[in-house]
Chains A and B, each alone.
Chain A
Amino acid sequence: MLQKIYDWIDDRIDITPIWRDIADHEVPEHVNPAHHFSAFVYCFGGLTFFVVVIQILSGMFLTMYYVPDIENAWKSVYYLQTEVAHGQIVRGMHHWGASVVIVMLLLHTLRVFFQGAYKKPRELNWMVGVLIFFVMLGLGFTGYLLPWDNKAYFATQVGLEIAEQVPFIGQELKTLLAGDATIVGAQTLTRFFAIHVFFLPGALFALLAIHFVLIRRQGISGPL
């Protein structure tokens, strides 16, 4: 039955080459922890992606309750944390995931760096990876404001003051992020929310897609 459905679809849209490209490849011995335990360092990239998936899913559930408005943002997070069933766990996963993803990303970067895996022909993929790192830090910075508690507010204020000191474009940069030249308030919260939920994830998905396509195209780097 399943085979028939598959054949029916495959006959019309020819999906066999697509899934072959995605999943049908050999895993070489030197990256397989089943053969060499030290090969667990090759898991860091995959685990980073795993945490990213956790972040996306938990974030989607958080937006079911979160209200990006200075009156209700904190209250909605407090409600989520104290009243909603499993709300504390879902928010906890998103909160700790933000830290864990940075740790895993760092480990993955160090693995690639110390193995020299970024050398020809993989220069472009390394640069895409570093851009993913930047996007991730941006997600961390914008997400920190959203609960609208004291530490969020004052940390963002400091961050915006730092952005303001950038020569030539500082003032504009701050206004772009905060929505106002001086006030850190309602506009700032909605902008950070939009950046955190739409702009940066969009950039992240595009970069991840390039990252994975390049990995499939070039294969994993050989043993040292």
Chain B
Amino acid sequence: MHKGKGMKFVGDSRISAERKPNIPKDYSEYPGRTEAFWPNFLLKEWLVGAVFLVGFLCLTLAHPSPLEGMADPTDAAYIPLPDWYFLFLYELLKYEFASGDWTLMGILILPGLAFGALLLAPFLDNGPGRRPHQRPVAIGMMLLGLVAVVWLTYTSAAHVDWEGRAEANKPIPPAEVTVDDSHPGFAAYENSCLACHGAELEGGAGPALVGLELSAEEIATIAVDGIGTMPPDQFQGTDEELEQLVDFIITVNESAE
């Protein structure tokens, strides 16, 4: 490249004003049947990408991504499970030598050794040979690690009833509620219940009244006697009005189904 005295630049930049012809480098020193990356190789390579993309999209269409019910921290019965690529670590922590007093072994020492060795592999396996049979220790350790990870993942996943889990944790769609203002029980609801249970029975100070699994008598009893933190005598009307109120609540519940 021409440098120093006599060089011309574009404006006050450091870019040479001299035009360089746009000729690719000479690749004759490369052995074998080489091929230019741009555009020859790329024009074939995008086909591999396209085939891959079609397969990937088939997977997404065939299996919509799962979504369980909204997180409920009070659900003590829920058995946690990580994503599949963490299952092997999860399973490791169940072994006696990796839990209890030996937890550190499971969460730090064993994974630390494995991943540390992976990170530093070029320095641990620093011989000149690249062929697998020239470095039996490195290959052996890798195969051992692979078998262990596959085995742990398999044992962990084999014990899980995947369909049962998906079935038990289906998301509950937010209910569409229709409130009929002209219902004879609505006036009683408005006077006695709406302040705490909301205009659409969605709850407020009190719980939601949608999705109830109570009989008409039970609802009537609660309206009069209260339940839990709900004080008694919230409803003070005639028996007929009480009947209409209960009917109103049940009607709304039916509309939500």
Q: Which residues of A contact B (CB under 8 A)?
A: 11-14, 16, 20, 23-30, 32-35, 40, 43, 46-47, 50-51, 54, 70, 74-75, 77-78, 81-82, 88-89, 91-100, 102, 110, 113-120, 122-123, 126-127, 130-131, 134, 137, 140-141, 144, 147-155, 157-159, 162, 165-167, 184-185, 221, 224
Q: How far is the CA of A162 from the CA of B36 in the complex (A)?
A: 50
Nearest CB on A from B195, distance (A):
22
Please provide the chain B residues from 13 to 60 with a CB less than 8 Å away from any CB of chain A in the complex: 13, 15-16, 20, 22, 24-25, 27, 30-38, 41-42, 44-45, 48-49, 52-53, 56-57, 59-60
Which chain B positions have C-beta within 8 A of A47?
Answer: 48-49, 52
B70's partner among A97, A98, A149, A159 (CB-CB below 8 A) is A149
Q: How far is the CA of A70 from the CA of B10 in the complex (A)?
A: 57
| B67: Cβ under 8 A from any A Cβ | yes
Contact B122 A122 (CB under 8 A): yes
Q: How far is the CA of A130 from the CA of B123 in the complex (A)?
A: 14
Q: How far is the CA of A75 from the CA of B174 in the complex (A)?
A: 9
Which chain B positions have C-beta within 8 A of A185?
Answer: 73
How would you classify the secondary structure of chain A's contact residues: helix, strand, loop or mixed?
A: helix
Beyond A27-B37, A54-B56, A75-B174, is A154–B78 a contact (Cβ under 8 Å)? yes
A140's partner among B10, B56, B78, B83 (CB-CB below 8 A) is B83
CB closest chain-A residue, reference B120: A127
Nearest CB on B from A149, distance (A):
4
| B190: Cβ under 8 A from any A Cβ | no
Which chain A positions have C-beta within 8 A of B171?
Answer: 74, 78, 149
Contact A123 B123 (CB under 8 A): yes
Contact A99 B85 (CB under 8 A): yes
Beyond A118-B122, A130-B118, A155-B80, is A12–B15 a contact (Cβ under 8 Å)? yes
B60's partner among A25, A93, A110 (CB-CB below 8 A) is A93
A92's partner among B20, B65, B173 (CB-CB below 8 A) is B65
Known A-B contacts: A27-B37, A150-B68, A158-B90. Give 8 more (CB < 8 A).
A23-B38, A24-B36, A92-B64, A96-B65, A123-B122, A126-B121, A149-B68, A152-B71
Which chain A positions have C-beta within 8 A of B174?
Answer: 75, 78
Q: How far is the CA of A127 from the CA of B118 in the complex (A)?
A: 9
Nearest CB on A from B128, distance (A):
7
Q: Which residues of B contact A (CB under 8 A)?
A: 10-11, 13, 15-16, 20, 22, 24-25, 27, 30-38, 41-42, 44-45, 48-49, 52-53, 56-57, 59-61, 63-73, 75, 78-86, 90, 93, 103-104, 107-108, 115, 118-123, 125-126, 128-132, 134-135, 138-139, 142, 146, 169, 171, 173-174
Nearest CB on A from B89, distance (A):
8
Q: How far is the CA of A35 from the CA of B16 in the complex (A)?
A: 41
CB closest chain-B residue, reference A81: B67
Contact B85 A130 (CB under 8 A): no
Contact A99 B67 (CB under 8 A): no
Which chain A positions have C-beta within 8 A of B68?
Answer: 149-152
B25's partner among A24, A51, A74, A88 (CB-CB below 8 A) is A24
User: Nearest 8 A-B pairs (CB), nearest first?
Assistant: A116-B130, A95-B65, A29-B32, A154-B80, A153-B71, A92-B60, A123-B122, A149-B68
CB closest chain-B residue, reference A219: B30
Which chain B positions have C-beta within 8 A of A33?
Answer: 48
Contact B132 A114 (CB under 8 A): yes
Contact B129 A116 (CB under 8 A): yes
A144's partner among B56, B57, B60, B82 (CB-CB below 8 A) is B82
Beyond A29-B33, A126-B121, is A91–B86 a contact (Cβ under 8 Å)? no
Contact B60 A78 (CB under 8 A): no
Which chain B positions have C-beta within 8 A of A97?
Answer: 56
Beyond A92-B63, A144-B82, is A119–B15 a contact (Cβ under 8 Å)? no
Which chain A positions have C-beta within 8 A of B130?
Answer: 115-117, 119, 221, 224
Contact A74 B70 (CB under 8 A): yes
B82's partner among A12, A14, A159 (CB-CB below 8 A) is A159
Which chain B positions have C-beta within 8 A of A221?
Answer: 130
Contact B71 A148 (CB under 8 A): yes
Contact B63 A127 (CB under 8 A): no
A/B interface sample: 17 pairs, CB < 8 A? A12-B15, A24-B38, A32-B41, A35-B33, A43-B48, A46-B48, A50-B52, A51-B56, A74-B67, A96-B60, A98-B83, A114-B139, A119-B122, A123-B122, A126-B122, A154-B78, A158-B82
Q: How far is the CA of A155 from the CA of B32 in the complex (A)?
A: 52
